[in-house]
A and B are shown apart, each in its own frame.
Chain A
Amino acid sequence: MTDESRPDDAKDARQREHLSRRGLFAMGAGGLAVGALAGVGGTFAAQALTHDDQGDSVDASLSYPFYGGGNQAGIRTEPQRHCVYMTFDIDPGSTLTDLESLFARWSAGIAQVMQGKPVGQVQPSRPGAVGQDTGEAVDLGPNALTVTLGIGPDVFDERFGLASKKPSLLKHLPALPSDTLQKSLTGGDLSLQACAEDPQVAYHAIRDLARMGRGTVSTRWTVMGFGRASAGQNQTTPRNLMGFKDGTRNIRSDDEFRDFVWLNDDAGWMSGGTYQVARKIQMNIEIWDADAVGDQQTVFGRHKDDGAPLSGTKEFDAPNFHKMAHGEPAIAPNAHIALAAHENNKGVKILRRSYNYTDGINQYGQLDAGLMFIAYMNDPAHFVTLQTRLGSYDRLNEYIAHIGSAVFAVPPAPESGHFIAEKLFA
């Protein structure tokens, strides 16, 4: 840390950034890329370097657009490696105008950071001035940052006169079997999900947006996800902290997104939006680690190494819940994948976009870690359906606890010159 970095070194720093990563590849000019472009160029380059996963390569200059209408980024976007999730409460005394100003400022700020730009001056010209941007993401590049805004059910209570605009399916989740929710990790009026390939870029986004919101909103709870635990369309399936592939059967196709994630034109100002369910799931790491692999596989219903269902031989083999082995079902009826399968839930599917997290060490000296489960769906009742079964019967419940929970409506992205959820204030 002896050589003070000069502005001219920005390019060098970018290159060092590339070199420091495994399986590097450089994008073409500009770095203003969309998923398709990144997918085509990236898959080929990455295959040459690693065996099969373009997600193993990182391009610090990759940026996604914030404006343009349609769906917000950070939902179908191929999951980045890191994610900071935070919920906020609107302060007592804040008005509808304060909320409008906040959404407009947040939108502009999100547009800036998603391009890798500061939200204002880092070093103001007047020495007595306070910098608007805190500065820690300067020169790091956009790093595929996406920031996704959610609006909670209580925003539509009597406080702001927005009851008539409440998204039709938005309401608090009911108490669910096995819930061990902590009040300090539950709920919130607004949520921000900031995911990026560089954790400092994601953290900077949340930090500066929280700062922008002060006086109107206060922080409620947050989780720092350090590793992606769900796969996008072109990514290999990553593993959760239990060591198992997670999200093999995640939603991928256009048809699935249309049928299970996006809200259609009937949804009014929310069309093109979706719903977000967030659950902080603590894992009893030490107990799980002491469990024999055979039992672990029975709990999940999959093989640990390649992720193949216990009824098959390859990861993407469709699980056969009727197949028998040694006189018993190959996949136990109360195995995690059996209870979560759409075949056993009237066809219901949700998009999972989870991250592994750690909170250090708990009061008993045990590792405090788990899964920050974030899911998107066109009806939060779909999560309720799934979790009602999982919470009641899942063999995994012995090793996990749902300690945090929240639900939000996620509006569509704004067009340029507008801000997110602008129609709420029209």
Chain B
Amino acid sequence: MQPSSRRRLSGAATAATILSVALLLAGCASDAGAAKQSTSGAAQVKITMTNDGSKDVCAIDHPSAAAGPITFTVENKSATGITEVELQSDQRIIGEKENLAPGLKPVSFTLTLGGGKYTVYCPGAGEENQTFTVTGKAAAPKTGSVQTLLNDGSKQYAGYVDDQIVGLVQGVGTLKAAIDSGDVAAAKKAYGQARPFYERIESDVDGFVLPGTKPNDNAGNLDYLIDMRASNLDDSVGWHGFHAIERDLFQANAITDGTKQLATELQTNVTTLAGLAKKLNYKPEDLANGAAGLLEEVQSEKIKGEEEAFSHIDLVDFAANVEGSQQAFEYLKPGLTKIDATLTKQISTQYDKVNALLDTYRDPSAIGGYVTYTPALKASDANKLSQAVQALQDPLSRLAEKVATAQ
């Protein structure tokens, strides 16, 4: 990847920026130097964004402060290219403000900082990184409270995945029993009950390859063997798994020997999957990426009605994807709230909105518990569903970065 032209330009502009900042500081010499404490006890630091006619400038009124509580007050006076500011320590974000724009009132955040060098990062400014020095005793080495919270959440999430796997194996067992008995109605119902277990954790378990097969051979790709749809079939491997069974049950309305064979295979494959999934470990960013990945599944398959082409229980899968996504988010939430409470709340609100919308489609009498996603319903409601998910997807897509850079 080539560096962006703007970043290259910003390098050339650095000298001028330093000069203008130096002049700014010289012009108010009495203010320069360490930040003073306010009556509340916290040192006060102002970060002001302006446009100097050719570029955006992020000016810090005091380049240093004594160790202890420090309040950063951020105001964007005229810098249209800057929308956020972060305080970083060793590349880790320890405080930030977003949604900055000229005309909005100043916002602030307070941190208790130990001695050392910090970086004020203003993406979009002529000079994006500036050093902020805290004098005095260095803070005791952090045990990483945020990191601990995130790691604890990730471990607990592994338990959630295990529970879903257990449910999947049981659900497929029920489905196989119904198929073996030749009861189409019972098999349809069991199909709708088994599907959500896979959809809730799909982003965690869709990467397994059977031992002894090549990564690009679909014959050994468990996700292919369990969940492949008609639209993406590999002729050399043929059709297996849930959706081949779905075709028999919902299109042909019949159970054949072939259906029974498919059910037996599916049971073998989900059992293999259960064994492999036990070995999975999750890093916090896996949860963040998984949460976002499940929503991509919703947008790319469910809203279009392509996942469940015969049973039309797309809304069942939709709800399961959202639930799995939200669970990953909830396990990260204690740590996330410390990293970025605003974004965390924003995401929670959008999950609430999506869930409230999904509630309007609940139907206890329908297979899987949601109304059938007919072409007519798709035509009238797909836009509404898609926009609700999109409003959740956008803030959620920023989680992985937050988690990866947490202190």
Q: Which bracket fits the contact residues of A?
A: 35 or more
Given A93-B353, A124-B123, A218-B387: A107 and B5 within 8 A (CB)?
no
With a cutoff of 8 Å between Cβ atoms, the chain A residues found around residue B46 in the complex are none
The answer for the CA separation of A107 and B4 in the assembled complex, in Å, is 24
Binary contact readout A1-34 vs B (1 if CB under 8 angstroms, 0 otherwise): 0001011001000000000000000000000000
**Central interface residue in A123, A215, A219, by most chain B CB within 10 Å:** A215
B178 to chain A, nearest CB (A): 41
- Contact for A122 among B4, B103, B350, B398, CB less than 8 A: B4
Q: What's the Cα separation between A136 and B94 when bound, in Å? A: 32
Does A171 reach chain B (CB closer than 8 Å)? no
Known contacts A124-B123, A218-B391, A419-B103; 14 additional CB pairs below 8 A are: A91-B391, A104-B103, A108-B76, A112-B80, A118-B6, A118-B81, A120-B123, A120-B124, A121-B4, A123-B4, A130-B398, A139-B5, A211-B394, A417-B77
Known: A112-B80, A120-B81, A120-B83. A130 touches B103 (CB 8 A): no
| A416 on interface, CB distance cutoff 8 Å | yes
- Determine if A418 is an interface residue (Cβ-Cβ < 8 Å): yes
Tell me if B104 and A7 are in contact (CB < 8 A).
no
- Provide the residues of chain A in CB contact with B391, threshold 8 Å: 91, 214-215, 218
Enumerate 30 A-B pairs (CB-CB under 8 Å) in ascending A order: A7-B8, A10-B5, A93-B349, A100-B104, A101-B99, A105-B83, A105-B99, A108-B76, A108-B101, A112-B80, A112-B81, A117-B81, A118-B6, A118-B81, A119-B83, A123-B3, A123-B7, A124-B401, A128-B401, A128-B405, A129-B398, A130-B401, A132-B123, A214-B390, A215-B391, A215-B395, A218-B387, A218-B391, A417-B77, A419-B102
1/0 per position for B3-20, CB-CB distance to A under 8 A?
A: 111111000000000000
- What 3 A-B pairs have minimum CB-CB distances, sorted nearest first? A7-B5, A104-B101, A419-B103
**Known A91-B391, A129-B401, A422-B103; contact A4-B5, beta-carbon cutoff 8 A:** no
Contact residues, B86-118 vs A (CB, 8 A): 99, 101-104
**Do residues B124 and A121 form an inter-chain contact, with CB atoms below 8 A?**
yes
* Min distance, Cβ A299 to any Cβ of chain B, angstroms: 36
Contacts A4-B2, A419-B101, A419-B102 given; indicate if A132 touches B83 (C-beta within 8 A).
yes
Chain B: how many interface residues by the 8 Å CB criterion? Answer: 37
Chain A residues lying within 8 Å of B8, measured Cβ to Cβ, are 7
Residues of the B chain whose Cβ atoms lie less than 8 Å from the Cβ of A6: 2
Closest residue on chain A to residue B404 by CB atoms: A128
Question: In the assembly, what is the distance between CA of A184 and CA of B124, in Å?
Answer: 38
Q: Which residues of A contact B28 (CB under 8 A)?
A: none
Interface residues of A in 140-196 (CB under 8 A from B): none
Main secondary structure of the interface of A (DSSP, over half): loop
- A93 vs B8: C-alpha distance when bound (angstroms): 42
Query: Are the CB atoms of A105 and B401 closer together than 8 Å?
Result: no
Q: Given the known A-B contacts A7-B2, A215-B346, A215-B394, are A126 and B103 also in contact in the complex, defined by CB atoms under 8 Å? A: no
Of all chain B residues, the one with the shortest Cβ separation from A218 is: B387
Task: Tell me whether A126 and B102 are in contact in the complex, defined as CB-CB below 8 angstroms, given that A112-B81, A121-B123, A215-B346 are known contacts.
Answer: no
CB distance from B126 to the nearest CB of A (A): 12
User: B78 near A417 (CB under 8 angstroms)?
Assistant: yes
B103 pairs with A219, CB closer than 8 A: no
Q: What is the distance, in angstroms, from A118's C-beta to the closest C-beta of chain B? A: 7
Contact B80 A109 (CB under 8 A): yes
Does A199 count as interface, using CB distance less than 8 angstroms? no
A285 at the interface (CB under 8 A from B): no
